[in-house]
C-alpha cells in the first residue's frame, strides 16, 4: 500500500518510519526545507508519560485567573479573544469535569507509556543519538500548598500503576545538586522515574534519515494545497509540486490539520497554543539540571541536553502569531536564575529564543483515527506532548493501516468524538 504522510515533525516522521517498517511504500511531504523545523524544533526536551494530563482540569477557571494575576504567569492571552478562541475555550471548560478529566488522563498516560516503550525499542534498533537520558522527571515544589495539591496527581498515577515517589528537600538536592534549593525556596518534590529526556529535533532528523534508508520518499519544500477525492476516498494530495496519488493519507500537520480537513466537513477543534523555549549553551552537568526539573509553580521544564540546557514553558493564546516578544521569555529566565543561579549570565544572554504553535485539543487527548474518508487518517492535536506521544501514536496509525486490533483503545482519541 502507498501511504502519503503529510508533515515531517516528530509525529509525521515517526509515523512514516512505522509504516515503512510495516512494509508499506511511504511518501513523506513537508513544506519546510527539513524535518522538525516547526513545533518539534526546540520543545522542553521532556518525554513525560507521568506528566501527561489534560489542561481541561477541574477548577480550570479559578487556576487560570490566579495564574494570570501573578507576575510570572504560565498562561498568557496575547490577543483579543475572537469567536474561534472563545468557542475553543468554552469546549475546554465543558471538558473540565472530574469524570472527563479522569478518562482523558488515563488515556493520555497509557499512550505516553506506550510511546516511551516504543522509543526504547527504536533507540536500540536504529542506534539513534539524540542526547537522550533515562533519569526521570523531578517535580519541584516551592510551597506546601503545591505539595498538598499534588496528592491528587499521585493518587491518579498510583491507580494507573505509574511509579512516583515523594522527595524531601534534601533528597531533591541530592538528585539535582545544581539547584539552589534555598534561593528557589524548594520545599520538596516528586520523582517520576519512568520519564525520559532528549532533543526532539535530533531524534526526528536521525529517524528521518533511517526512514529514507528504508525507502521512504521524502519531499521537502513541498506545500500541501488540499485533498483530491472521488467515490468517498482520497485519491491524491494536491501539492505545490503537483498531485501525489496514493492508497491512504495520514494528516500529521499539527495546527494545520484543521485547515486541511475543514473543506471536507470535519471541524477539528485544534487550537494553536504558543509555547516558548530557551536553549542555553552551557554544560548541564556542571551548571544545570541532570535530567528534567519541572517547576510546578511556573509550569516550566528545564532539561539537561549534555552541553546545552533547554528551558520550555509559557502557554500563550495568540492565534497563529509566531512573533517572539522578549517579554514572553521573562518567566523562563526567572525560573533559570532562581533554580540554577550557577548558569553563566553570558550563556543566558546568548540563549537561542524560540516559539512554536502547540496543536491543542480542548479535552486533552490527541486525535488519532479515520476521518471523513475511509482511507484518511488523522494523527494530530498532541498539544504540549508531541515528543512524549509520537512513537505510540505512530504505532496506532500502523495498527489502523494494517487493519489489526489497536495496541491500546482508540476510542478516547477518535476524530469523531467532537460530533
List C-alpha distances in Å: 212 to 12, 16, 21, 319: 13, 9, 11, 34
Please, how many CA atoms are within 13 Å of residue 49, restricted to the half-sphere of its CB?
28
pTM: 0.96
Show the cell assigned to 396: 496506532
What gap in Å lies between CA 335 and CA 311, rounded to an integer? 9
Domains and CATH numbers, the chain: 2-40+202-266+364-418 (3.50.50.60), 54-96+131-194+271-360 (3.30.9.10)
Model pLDDT, residue 77: 86
**Residue-wise pLDDT tens digits, 223-254:** 999 999 999 999 999 999 999 999 999 999 99
What gap in Å lies between CA 79 and CA 89, rounded to an integer? 14
Q: What does DSSP say about strands 188-192 and 165-167: parallel, antiparallel, or unpaired?
A: antiparallel
201, 38 in Cβ contact below 8 A?
A: no
Model pLDDT, residue 346: 97
pLDDT < 70 positions in the chain: none
What gap in Å lies between CA 79 and CA 279, rounded to an integer? 26
Model pLDDT, residue 270: 97
74, 314 in Cβ contact below 8 A?
A: yes
- 271 - beta bridge partners? 360
Model pLDDT, residue 309: 98
Q: Which residue, chain included where needed, has cell 516551592?
A: 142
Model pLDDT, residue 418: 87
Amino acid at each position: 500500500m502507498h501511504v502519503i504522510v503529510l508533515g515531517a515533525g516528530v509525529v509525521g516522521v515517526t509515523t512514516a518510519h512505522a509504516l515503512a517498517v510495516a512494509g508499506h511504500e511511504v511518501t513523506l511531504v513537508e513544506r519546510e526545507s527539513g524535518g522538525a523545523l516547526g513545533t518539534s524544533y526546540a520543545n522542553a526536551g521532556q518525554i513525560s508519560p507521568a506528566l501527561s494530563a489534560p489542561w481541561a482540569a477541574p477548577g480550570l477557571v479559578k487556576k487560570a485567573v490566579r495564574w494570570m494575576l501573578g507576575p510570572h504567569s504560565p498562561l498568557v492571552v496575547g490577543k483579543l479573544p475572537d469567536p474561534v478562541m472563545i468557542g475553543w475555550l468554552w469546549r475546554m471548560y465543558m471538558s473540565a469535569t472530574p469524570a472527563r478529566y479522569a478518562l482523558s488522563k488515563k488515556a493520555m498516560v497509557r499512550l505516553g507509556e506506550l510511546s516511551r516503550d516504543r522509543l526504547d525499542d527504536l533507540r536500540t534498533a536504529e542506534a539513534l543519538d539524540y542526547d537522550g537520558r533515562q533519569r526521570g522527571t523531578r517535580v519541584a515544589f516551592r510551597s506546601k500548598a503545591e505539595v498538598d495539591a499534588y496528592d491528587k496527581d499521585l493518587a491518579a498515577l498510583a491507580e494507573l500503576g505509574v511509579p512516583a515517589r515523594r522527595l524531601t528537600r534534601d533528597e531533591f538536592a541530592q538528585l539535582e545538586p545544581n539547584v539552589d534549593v534555598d534561593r528557589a525556596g524548594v520545599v520538596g518534590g516528586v520523582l517520576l522515574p519512568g520519564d525520559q529526556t532528549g532533543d526532539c529535533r535530533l531524534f526526528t532528523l536521525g529517524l528521518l534519515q533511517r526512514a529514507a534508508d528504508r525507502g521512504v520518499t521524502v519531499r521537502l519544500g513541498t506545500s500541501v494545497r488540499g485533498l483530491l477525492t472521488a467515490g468517498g476516498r482520497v485519491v491524491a494530495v494536491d501539492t505545490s509540486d503537483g498531485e501525489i496519488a496514493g492508497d491512504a493519507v495520514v494528516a500529521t500537520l499539527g495546527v494545520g490539520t484543521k485547515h486541511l480537513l475543514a473543506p471536507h466537513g470535519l471541524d477539528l477543534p485544534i487550537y494553536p497554543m504558543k509555547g516558548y523555549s530557551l536553549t542555553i549553551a552551557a554544560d548541564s552537568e556542571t551548571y544545570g539540571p541532570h535530567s528534567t526539573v519541572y517547576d510546578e509553580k511556573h509550569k516550566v521544564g528545564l532539561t539537561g541536553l549534555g552541553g546545552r540546557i533547554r528551558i520550555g514553558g509559557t502557554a500563550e493564546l495568540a492565534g497563529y502569531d509566531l512573533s517572539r516578544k522578549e517579554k514572553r521569555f521573562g518567566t523562563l529566565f526567572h525560573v533559570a536564575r532562581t533554580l540554577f543561579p550557577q548558569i553563566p549570565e553570558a550563556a543566558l544572554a546568548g540563549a537561542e529564543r524560540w516559539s512554536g504553535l502547540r496543536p491543542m485539543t480542548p479535552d486533552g487527548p490527541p486525535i488519532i483515527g479515520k476521518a471523513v474518508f475511509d482511507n484518511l487518517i488523522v494523527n494530530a492535536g498532541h498539544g504540549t506532548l508531541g515528543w512524549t506521544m509520537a512513537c505510540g501514536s505512530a504505532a496506532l496509525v500502523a495498527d489502523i493501516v494494517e487493519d489489526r486490533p489497536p495496541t491500546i483503545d482508540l476510542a478516547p482519541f477518535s476524530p469523531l468524538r467532537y460530533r
